[in-house]
Amino acid sequence: MNAMVLKKIGTELEWTELADPHPGPGEIRVKVSACGVCRTDLHVVDGELPDQKVPIIPGHEIVGRIDLVGAGVEGLSLGERVGIPWLGHTCGVCPYCRSGHENLCDHPIFTGYTRNGGFATATIADARFAFPLGETGSDVALAPLLCAGLIGWRSLVIAGEGKKLGLYGFGAAAHIMAQVAQRQGRSVFAFTRPGDVATQAFARQLGAIWAGGSDELPLEPLDATIIFATVGELVPRALKAVRKGGRVVCAGIHMSDIPSFAYQLLWEERQLVSVANLTRQDGVDFLRLAPAMSIVTKTTSYPLRQANQALADLRAGRFEGAAVLVP
Ligand SMILES: [Zn+2]
Ligand SMILES: [Zn+2]
């Protein structure tokens, strides 16, 4: 197999030939057909997450077909198309796993972070954490659903049922959640980098009723906002944008420091929460819902060998929607 490997934190990924991996008990080997590029991959490359091990193959929005099945795997078959998400494994016995909060597991394994991911021609996954994808939709179009979609969905659920929803950072996750929120009868307000009129136009195209810079406020207070961008300064701004009792959800795994702010911004029962990872149930719920809602992803494809270019373009905001690597 071949993979784009992070050998040293802060350096470019290297095209590398590796021995074909073999699935252990309970595992599957998947021939990768597409893998989305997520902001978390940038955090991995930059060494911004705790205890980053190298070498590692990033990538956790994997679509592919099973080409080897390990002992004891049930419910999945050779040739079946599956999606492999960020949550790669949980312990099953910690208090979080036992109470339906496996997203908070004390001993998790994460795809493309603590186990090899999908910037590769093949990967190994714990079969219980792979989602059957069926045959509807292209591999490339489905890939961004595996993280931008799933963690976006968890964030949207945690944002509550308010009708006026703000989205800070209109990238891969927001462009999917804007569609979901509208199908649910909500109005979407999109906040981008100040002056980023191209992304604001993209948000309006996708039905946002208001789009502006993150330094602006819409005329009416919002019920909830989700911050997908990794910029801590957005937290006080988002609190300013929500009504009394409104909720601000931080959806990123990493964020720059949040500046201090007046208590008045939180007062009147405004809530500030974060979302971590996903549960398998989030995946089942969202992957059932996305086709029924006719969610369309906007993607830019890159050959696997150009993973560094895709990461650089993501960092610079050079495309709308999501980047997807194709081996
Ligand atoms: Zn656990
Ligand atoms: Zn991700």
pLDDT at residue 25, as a whole number: 98
Pairing verdict, β 27-37 and 122-126: antiparallel
pLDDT at residue 92, as a whole number: 98
pLDDT at residue 189, as a whole number: 98
CA of residue 56 to ligand 2 center, whole Å: 15
Name residues whose C-beta falls within 8 Å of residue 202's C-beta, 6 or more positions apart in sequence. Answer: 170, 175, 298, 320, 321
CA of residue 82 to ligand 2 center, whole Å: 17
pLDDT at residue 136, as a whole number: 94
Residues with CB under 5 A from ligand 1 (ion): 90-91, 94, 97, 105
- Looking at the CA of 147, name the nearest ligand: 2
HEC string of the chain equals CEEEEECCCCCCCEEEECCCCCCCCCEEEEEEEEEEECHHHHHHHHCCCCCCCCCECCCCCEEEEEEEECCCCCCCCCCCEEEECCEEECCCCCHHHHCCCHHHCCCCEEECCCECCCCECEEEEEHHHCEECCCCCCHHHHHHHHCHHHHHHHHHHHHCCCCEEEEECCCHHHHHHHHHHHHCCCEEEEEECCCCHHHHHHHHHCCCCEEEECCCCCCCCEEEEEECCCCCCHHHHHHHHEEEEEEEEECCCCCCCCCCCCHHHCCCCCEEEECCCCCHHHHHHHHHHHHHCCCCCCEEEEEHHHHHHHHHHHHHCCCCCEEEEEC
Buried b (16+ CB within 10 A) or exposed e, 98-136: eeeebbebeebebbbbbbbbbbbbbbbbbbbbbbebeee
Q: In whole angstroms, how far apart are CA 261 and each of 87, 125, 233, 265? A: 34, 43, 10, 7
CA of residue 219 to ligand 2 center, whole Å: 32
d(CA 287, CA 88): 17
Q: What is the pLDDT along the chain (327 residues), one digit of tens a residue?
A: 999 999 999 999 999 999 999 999 999 999 999 999 999 999 999 999 999 999 999 999 999 999 999 999 999 999 999 999 999 999 999 999 999 999 999 999 999 999 999 999 999 999 999 999 999 999 999 999 999 999 999 999 999 999 999 999 999 999 999 999 999 999 999 999 999 999 999 999 999 999 999 999 999 999 999 999 999 999 999 999 999 999 999 999 999 999 999 999 999 999 999 999 999 999 999 999 999 999 999 999 999 999 999 999 999 999 999 999 999
Cβ-contact 325, 112 below 8 angstroms: no
pLDDT at residue 285, as a whole number: 97
CA of residue 128 to ligand 1 center, whole Å: 14
CA of residue 155 to ligand 2 center, whole Å: 13
CA of residue 142 to ligand 2 center, whole Å: 14
Helices 197-205 and 172-183, packing angle to 10 deg? 30
CA of residue 92 to ligand 2 center, whole Å: 22
pLDDT at residue 162, as a whole number: 97
pLDDT at residue 22, as a whole number: 97
CA of residue 147 to ligand 2 center, whole Å: 5
- Looking at the CA of 107, name the nearest ligand: 1
Q: Label residue 64 exposed, middle or buried (CB < 10 Å: 0-12, 13-18, 19+).
A: buried
CA of residue 198 to ligand 1 center, whole Å: 42
**Residue from 179, 192, 176, 184 nearest 160 by CA:** 184
CA of residue 90 to ligand 1 center, whole Å: 5
CA of residue 125 to ligand 2 center, whole Å: 16
pLDDT at residue 321, as a whole number: 94
Q: Label residue 48 exposed, middle or buried (CB < 10 Å: 0-12, 13-18, 19+).
A: middle
CA of residue 169 to ligand 2 center, whole Å: 14
* List of domains in the chain: 2-135+297-326 (3.90.180.10), 150-274 (3.40.50.720)
Q: Which long-range contacts (CB under 8 A, 24 or more apart) does 209-212 make?
A: 211/170
